[in-house]
Structures are given as C-alpha cells and as structure tokens.
C-alpha cells in the first residue's frame, strides 16, 4: 500500500465569486455560488480523505478571502521545506499571510519568492513527480519562480507552458498518478511542452479536453486511490483499467470559481 498522506485544507465558509480572475468566474451569474452546498461538497472531500486513512488538517478561513478554500495555491511543501506563494491577483495576495501563520504555528519556516515581481501559486503550478517538479507558466506562476524553486529545493524543475485559458493552472491539466507517472491533457500545453511530457512520461494517461473541463485532472492520487470528479467519465474509466481505484467526489460548486478537488488540497510532504 502507498504511504498515507498529510493534507492541509480550508473550509469554504466565506466562498463566493466576487471578482473574475479566470474564465470560469462570473460574478454576475444568475445562479450564484451556494456557499452551503460548497461546504457540503468540501466536507465530503475531507471525509473521503479520512476514510482512506489520510491526515487532514485545516487552516481557518478568513472573511473577505473567498478563494482561500483553494489551499493548493498557498505553497509547495517538499521534504518539510515550504516555498510560499505570491499571487498574481491582488485580491488573493492576502491569503499568503494567513497560510504563513498556519505554517509557522505548525513549526515550518516559509521561504518567499525573493523578487517582488515573481508570481508563484504553489501546487497550482508546481507538481512534484519522479524526483522532479513539473512547473507551469503562461497564466499565473512566472518562469523566474521555476528557477527559484529548483534552487530552493535542489530538485530538477521542468518548465511547461500552458496555453488554454480555461486550464490556467498546471493542476487543472495534469496530476501525478504515483511517484513515477502522470495523467494529462496534451492540448493544454504548447507544442514543445507537449513533446517534453511525451518524452518524460511515455506511459501517461492521456485525457480529453472534455475530462479536463470537468476538472477530472484536478484530482488527488495517493498512488492507488484517485479522488476525482465523477463528471470526467472517460478519465475515470481509464484509471480503473490501469488498476487505480477512483473515489468520486463532486465539486461542482467550487468549479464556479475555477477550482476542484486538487485546488482544495495542499499536500504536506515531510
Ligand atoms: N478562483 C481561483 C483562482 O482563479 C481558483 C484557484 C484554483 N486553484 C488551483 N489550484 N487550480 O485563482
């Protein structure tokens, strides 16, 4: 059995769509966010993690920070070292402090990007797999952050360019299945980046745009169980055929902000 994981999450108590920083967000949607429903979906996710033996810790949500539920964006944590975030959108910048407070209280030092123009949105754009970190750019995290991440962790960083505005974070287009392999949607990447992924992961699971737009690739795998949106039916089938166990968790309410399962989950790797 693969090792149990430690996850950090944040309840969507103050979740809403008040501003638009990706094409999913429509503040004037006639069907606005149902915050209670979002909380219920989030609770089901937490329950699913705990039912599979994983440790889930929570950071307190802050009123006025509606996107704080997307814990993945707060940092990348590897070997007990924390690389904190600097968000692109001014509306999300204050989230960094709230998460930093949690990390400090939990006994971690937090490294922050040195240059004030560097943008880095944590595991949203930084995916550890196969002894390296895959790093997205194009919409949020800037390429200079990729260099800094490599320098900080001493782990090779592979830069990938995202090109589809609906799949604006790397974790909306790709996830790590286990220590070695990934699932991704090739059309979300520039031609060169697609070629890099093909060389690095010849046995990857390739998903369709439809599955990606159902946030199927915004999944969390513990190496065996894959917590995944049930709407990504093609991907769910492929996972089963490869011997993974899909655990369906619905996050339709969070999708109104352009988020899903993985966005809500920051892994603490020690
Ligand atoms: N509304 C948020 C934003 O646009 C969603 C973040 C989703 N997070 C993720 N890890 N992809 O920043």
CATH code at position 151: 3.75.10.10
Closest approach atom of ligand 1 to CA 140: 12
pLDDT tens sequence across 40-63: 999 999 999 999 999 999 999 999
Residue 169 annotated to the active site: yes
Nearest residue by C-alpha to atom 7 in ligand 1: 259
pLDDT tens sequence across 154-167: 999 999 999 999 99
Q: Would you say the CB of residue 168 lies under 6 angstroms from ligand 1?
A: no
Residue 1 has pLDDT above 80, yes or no: no
Closest approach atom of ligand 1 to CA 17: 1
Range of the domain at 139: 6-267
Q: For residue 47, tell me if it sits in a domain.
A: yes
Q: For residue 139, tell me if it sits in a domain.
A: yes
Q: For residue 97, tell me if it sits in a domain.
A: yes
Q: For residue 225, tell me if it sits in a domain.
A: yes
Query: How many domains does one find in the chain?
Result: 1
Q: For residue 67, tell me if it sits in a domain.
A: yes
Residue 264 annotated to the active site: no
Q: Print the SS3 string covering the chain.
A: CCCCCEEEECCCCCCCCCCCCCCCCCCCCCCCCCHHHHHHHHHHHHHHHHHCCCEEEECCCCCCCCCCCCHHHHEEEECCEEEECECCCHHHCCHHHHHHHHHHHCCCCEECCCCCCCCECHHHCEEEECCEEEEEECCCCCHHHHHHHHHHHCCCEEEEEECCCCCCCHHHCEEECCCCCEEECHHHECHHHHHHHHHHCCCCEECCHHHHHCCCCCCEECCCEEEECCCCHHHHHHHHHCCCEEEECCCHHHHCCCCCCHHHCEEECC
Q: For residue 63, tell me if it sits in a domain.
A: yes
CA of 257 to the centre of ligand 1 (A): 7
Residue 3 has pLDDT above 90, yes or no: no
Looking at residue 15, its pLDDT comes to 98
CA of 259 to the centre of ligand 1 (A): 5
Q: For residue 221, tell me if it sits in a domain.
A: yes
Choosing from 26, 65, 66, 124 the residue with most ligand 1 atoms within 8 A of its CB, the one to mutate for a pocket test is 124
Q: For residue 156, tell me if it sits in a domain.
A: yes
Looking at residue 55, its pLDDT comes to 98
pLDDT tens sequence across 62-121: 999 999 999 999 999 999 999 999 999 999 999 999 999 999 999 999 999 999 999 999
């Amino acid at each position: 059995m693969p090792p149990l994981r430690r996850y950090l999450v944040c309840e969507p108590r103050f979740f809403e769509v008040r501003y638009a920083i990706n094409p999913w967000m429509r503040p004037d949607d006639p069907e606005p966010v149902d915050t209670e429903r979002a909380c219920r979906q989030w609770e089901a996710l937490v329950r699913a993690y705990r039912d599979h033996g994983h440790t889930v810790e929570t950071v307190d949500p802050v009123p006025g920070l509606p996107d704080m539920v997307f814990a993945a964006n707060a940092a990348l944590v590897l070997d007990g070292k924390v690389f904190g975030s600097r968000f692109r959108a001014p509306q999300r910048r204050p989230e960094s402090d709230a998460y930093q407070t949690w990390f400090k209280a939990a006994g971690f030092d937090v490294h922050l990007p040195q240059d004030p123009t560097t943008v880095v949105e944590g595991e949203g754009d930084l995916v550890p797999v196969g002894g390296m970190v895959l790093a997205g750019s194009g919409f949020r995290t800037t390429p200079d952050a990729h260099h800094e991440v490599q320098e900080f962790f001493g782990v090779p960083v592979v830069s990938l360019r995202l090109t589809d505005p609906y799949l604006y974070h790397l974790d909306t287009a790709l996830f790590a299945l286990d220590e070695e392999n990934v699932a991704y949607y090739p059309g979300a990447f520039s031609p060169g980046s697609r070629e890099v992924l093909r060389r690095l992961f010849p046995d990857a699971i390739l998903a369709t745009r439809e599955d990606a737009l159902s946030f199927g690739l915004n999944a969390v795998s513990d190496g065996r169980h894959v917590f995944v949106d049930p709407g990504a039916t093609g991907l769910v089938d492929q996972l089963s055929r490869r011997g993974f166990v899909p655990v369906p968790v619905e996050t339709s309410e969070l999708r109104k902000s352009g988020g899903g399962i993985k966005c809500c989950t920051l892994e603490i790797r020690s």
